[in-house]
Amino acid sequence: MKKVTKTTPSVRFNRFTVPWKLRKFSELYRKSSEKNDGSIGMDKNITVATMQYKDDVKVSTQEYLKTYYTFNVGDIAFEGHHSKEFKFGRFVENDIGDGIVSHIFMVFRPVCNYDICFWKYAINNERVMQKILSRSTKASTMMHDLVTNDFLNESIFVPCIEEQKDIGFYLRNIEKLITLYKQKLEQQKKIKKYFLQNMFPAKGEKVPKIRMKGFIGDWKEQKINNVIEVYTKKTTIEDQYPVLTSSQQKGIILQNKYFSGEWVSKNGNVGYFIIPRGYFAYRSRSDNDVFVFNRNDAVDIGIISYFYPVFKPKGVDSNFLLERLNYGIEKQIMLNSEGTGQHVLSLKKFKNISALFPSYEEQKLIGCYFQRIEKIIELYQYKLDEICTLKKYMIQNMFI
């Protein structure tokens, strides 16, 4: 059976119906060996990995500047370092401005009409470029060397310039949304950090700098043992409830979601701790000296490894406790963790740690305030993940 070559992408704007054309790279680019004549300084040196000007590189002689290639807007540079994402190296397009780039990179300059935004995503698309680069590169230690003639003889499907512009414009707007939500997310995290620093007493103090209206008096020192109740109920059958994990970045979530469908435990989960909704857990072992205390807000009843002690609040506000355990007692936690390499914070040591607590009424207001901030953070994170997923889908389906 004759293999049918696909000439249109899976996702396309309705106004375009003409098949994409298969064109050799030699029709689109030429290798550029144009050297800097010395007139372009290091303030215009472009770091290919991040596509930013990097002007803090010190150059001893003006002659060394002449070893750099000119790197103009629309040029593409080949970076030979391979990674999990880019197995055969990758091309990066210059979309920030004219400059220079180190002579270790191979530069190609466009020779036909093109849309810079379209080519930025096309040339850095692993799905599109992997086969092309696998035939055009040869391995050399930790890098790949590009064979110019092999690359220029390779072909790629290209739409008309109008369709290029529409695709480029669409993907650029998605990128702008991603940048916007990243900024909003970081802004909210900074707001939370600021209020944590000021709504909890500083070291050596017994009252915070910022306080809820109507509350006075010192916060009282309490041992953790007095504000939590340990919960040790365990599973008796396999997969009795959904399996959870407590992560440093995402809180308590379903284990198969965290590990992308892979089951970590090969020995079953009989004997795991049961953790109802609203109960807390922490991983008692840490590779980076960080211990994060999370609350089960994921499912009504779940189970978690016996390496994660489970407990519930006792006489304290749950939202306040969540912030209290994760802020202001880090030094005590570090002093009470044991071991070399991997540190262990035993439940016994954890319960013996002391922290300052206000009245229950003040706890509720503080906890509610931080819960609102956390909900905004979660919303921005959700929107960011959603847009990133959309971008990934479109890049996979808007190119051939």
Q: Tokens 């994060």 identify what position?
A: 292
Lowest-confidence pick of 196-200, 256-260, 268-272, 310-314: 256-260
* Distance between CA atoms of residues 148 and 155, nearest Å: 13
* DSSP SS3 for 139: strand
Q: Is the separation of the CB atoms in 275 and 310 below 8 Å?
A: yes
* Distance between CA atoms of residues 388 and 177, nearest Å: 9
- pLDDT at position 136: 94
* Distance between CA atoms of residues 81 and 216, nearest Å: 60
Long-range contacts of 83-88 (CB under 8 A, 24+ apart): 85/126, 86/126, 87/126, 87/130, 87/134, 88/129, 88/130, 88/133, 88/134, 88/137, 88/144
pLDDT tens digits for 5-49? 689 999 999 999 999 999 999 999 999 999 998 888 888 999 888
* Distance between CA atoms of residues 357 and 200, nearest Å: 9
pTM of the model: 0.85
By residue count, the chain amounts to: 400
pLDDT tens digits for 129-160? 999 999 999 887 678 889 999 999 999 999 99
Q: Is the separation of the CB atoms in 168 and 118 below 8 Å?
A: yes
pLDDT tens digits for 301-354? 999 999 999 999 999 999 999 999 999 999 999 999 998 888 999 999 999 999
- pLDDT at position 1: 40
Confidence of residue 60 (pLDDT cuts 50, 70, 90): low
pLDDT tens digits for 204-263? 999 999 999 999 999 999 999 999 999 999 999 999 999 999 988 889 999 887 765 555
Domains of the chain: 21-158 (3.90.220.20), 161-206+358-400 (1.10.287.1120), 220-357 (3.90.220.20)
Q: Encoding tokens for residue 329? A: 């007692």
Question: Smallest Cα–Cα separation from 129: which of 146, 104, 143, 149?
Answer: 146
- pLDDT at position 2: 46
Q: Tell whether the model's pLDDT for residue 55 goes beyond 90.
A: no
- pLDDT at position 5: 66
Q: Tokens 């809820």 identify what position?
A: 212
Long-range contacts of 53-58 (CB under 8 A, 24+ apart): 53/96, 53/97, 53/99
Q: Tokens 């953070």 identify what position?
A: 377
* Distance between CA atoms of residues 239 and 302, nearest Å: 10
Q: Is the separation of the CB atoms in 317 and 239 below 8 Å?
A: no
Percent of the chain with pLDDT over 90: 79
Q: Tokens 């009795």 identify what position?
A: 240
Confidence of residue 87 (pLDDT cuts 50, 70, 90): confident
- pLDDT at position 176: 97
Confidence of residue 264 (pLDDT cuts 50, 70, 90): low
What is the DSSP code string of 147-185? -HHHHHH-EEEE--HHHHHHHHHHHHHHHHHHHHHHHHH
